Amino acid sequence: MNDTIAISSPAGHLIVRPEREDDEAFHFRLFSASRQAEFARLLPPDTLETIMRQQFHAQTVSYRARFPRARGDIIEIAGKPIGRIMVDRGEKVVHIVDQAIVPELRNRGIGTAVMRALMEEARRTSRAVRLGVAAANDQALRLYRRLGFAPIETKEHYLWLEWRDDATVSEC
């Protein structure tokens, strides 16, 4: 795969490029924006900031340990970062480790466009696409089901989904 890919979306022209060190502040803001609602009502701002930093660090360390080959990419529109995706490209499976779009740009077709680009990559290379999603995340589940993902396993509070192009993907 090239280092940078261009994707057309209803929200505009997307660029997906490898994450750099100077993206860490954006990555942390995106991480926090995706999780703060869970804690914001319960904790004072300084405590919330500390907890977000601890969780961000724990997730980063965990992902590096569990998916050492995975690559983090930043999704941009007009040179502005608007999302992140982490993908582990294995021999038989393209595994979506993590993905997020800034809250103000969700539900505008960006996630769908990025997922379709990854599905096309998987189709071209005869691989399946897999990901895990919180079983309570109805919005994400609707997206993945609409794209043709099917449940393959339930583990704790997560549902593991897979998409395959049956014409090209052999048994994984």
Structure confidence by residue, pLDDT tens digits, 86-97: 999 999 999 999
| Whether pLDDT at 40 is above 80 | no
Q: Domain 5-163 carries which CATH code?
A: 3.40.630.30
Rounded Cα distance, 91 and 88, in Å: 10
**Residue appearing with tokens 């405590």:** 47
Least confident of 68-82, 101-115, 155-169: 155-169
* In contact, 155 and 127? CB cutoff 8 Å: no
pLDDT digits (tens, 9 = 90+) for 125-152: 999 999 999 998 888 899 999 999 999 9
- 47 vs 61, residue with greater confidence: 61
Q: Binning pLDDT at 50, 70 and 90, where does residue 156 land?
A: confident
Residue 132: which residues within 8 A CB-CB, separation 6 or more?
155, 158, 159, 160, 161
- Among left, alpha and beta (phi > 0; psi -120 to 50; other), residue 78 is left
Percent of the chain predicted with pLDDT > 70: 92
CA separation, residue 44 to residues 9, 25, 31, 47, 48 (Å): 38, 21, 18, 5, 6
* In contact, 83 and 73? CB cutoff 8 Å: no
pLDDT digits (tens, 9 = 90+) for 2-31: 589 999 999 999 999 999 999 999 999 999
Least confident of 14-23, 29-38, 59-68: 29-38
Residues 100-109: what's their mean pLDDT? 94
pLDDT attached to residue 114: 97
Percent of the chain predicted with pLDDT > 90: 76
pLDDT attached to residue 139: 87
Rounded Cα distance, 67 and 87, in Å: 9
